[in-house]
Amino acid sequence: IVEARMKSMLNEESFDGQTAVTPRVGIIMGSDSDLPVMKDAARILDMFGVPYELRIVSAHRTPEMMFSYASSAGQRGIQIIIAGAGGAAHLPGMVAALTPLPVIGVPVRASSLDGLDSLLSIVQMPRGVPVATVAINNATNAGLLAVRMLGVGDADLQARMSQYLEDTKHDVLVKAEKLEK
C-alpha cells in the first residue's frame, strides 16, 4: 500500500531529481502520510537540479532499516539528510545520532497537538547531536537549507540561490506595488 501511494504520488508530480544520478540529498519520512508535506522539499531540489532520493524509513516501525539507511548514507554519496516525522518524531534525531552528515528535521503536523509535539520532539536534541529544525510542515525551507549547504562547495548552486533570493524579492515588490495602486 505504501509503495502504491508513493508511486502514484511520484507519477503525478515530476520528481526529476529521482534519476540514475547519485543522489546528494536523502529525503526520508516516517510514514507515507508525511509525503504531502515532504514532497515540497523534493520540489525545491528539483527546481535547483539537485539529485535526491525519497524513502520511507520509520524509527519505530522499521528501526533496523533506519539504522542501515543512516549508517550507510555517507558511503553512498548522500551529503545531507532531510528527515520528516510527526507525533513522537524521533526519526531526525536518531538518524543524526547514526551519521556524521548534516540532518535537517521537518516537524510534520500529525493528527493532534497541531504539530507542537513533532516540533519539540525534533528540536530538543541533546548537546552533541544537532538537528537543524525547520518550522512545522515547512519542508520547502528544508529543501532550501539543503541547497544553501551544498552551495558552500558549489559556486553554481550558490549563484542559483542568490538568483532565487532576487526573484523572491522581486515577487514581493510587484505585489507591494499592486497593493499601492
In SS3 terms, 46-111 reads as: HHHCCCEEEEECCCCCCHHHHHHHHHHCCCCCCCEEEEEEECCCCHHHHHHHHCCCCEEEEEECCC
Is residue 29 left, alpha or beta, with left meaning phi > 0 and alpha meaning psi from -120 to 50? beta
Please name which of 101, 104, 100 lies closest in space to residue 91, comparing C-alpha atoms: 104
- Does residue 27 touch ligand RP5 according to CB under 6 A? no
Query: Which of 10, 18, 33, 161 is close enough to bind ligand RP5 by CB under 6 A?
Result: 33
- Does residue 133 touch ligand RP5 according to CB under 6 A? no
Shortest Å, Cβ 124 to ligand RP5: 17
Shortest Å, Cβ 30 to ligand RP5: 3
- Does residue 107 touch ligand RP5 according to CB under 6 A? no
Query: Which of 6, 9, 47, 58 is close enough to bind ligand RP5 by CB under 6 A?
Result: 58
- Strand duo 132-133 + 103-108: pairing: parallel
- Does residue 92 touch ligand RP5 according to CB under 6 A? no
- Does residue 140 touch ligand RP5 according to CB under 6 A? no
Query: Which of 30, 92, 93, 105 is close enough to bind ligand RP5 by CB under 6 A?
Result: 30
Is the Cβ of residue 24 or residue 109 nearer to ligand RP5 in the bound state? 109
DSSP-based three-state secondary structure for 134 = coil
**Chain residues that interact with ligand RP5, rule: CB under 6 A:** 29-31, 33-34, 58, 60, 85-87, 108, 110
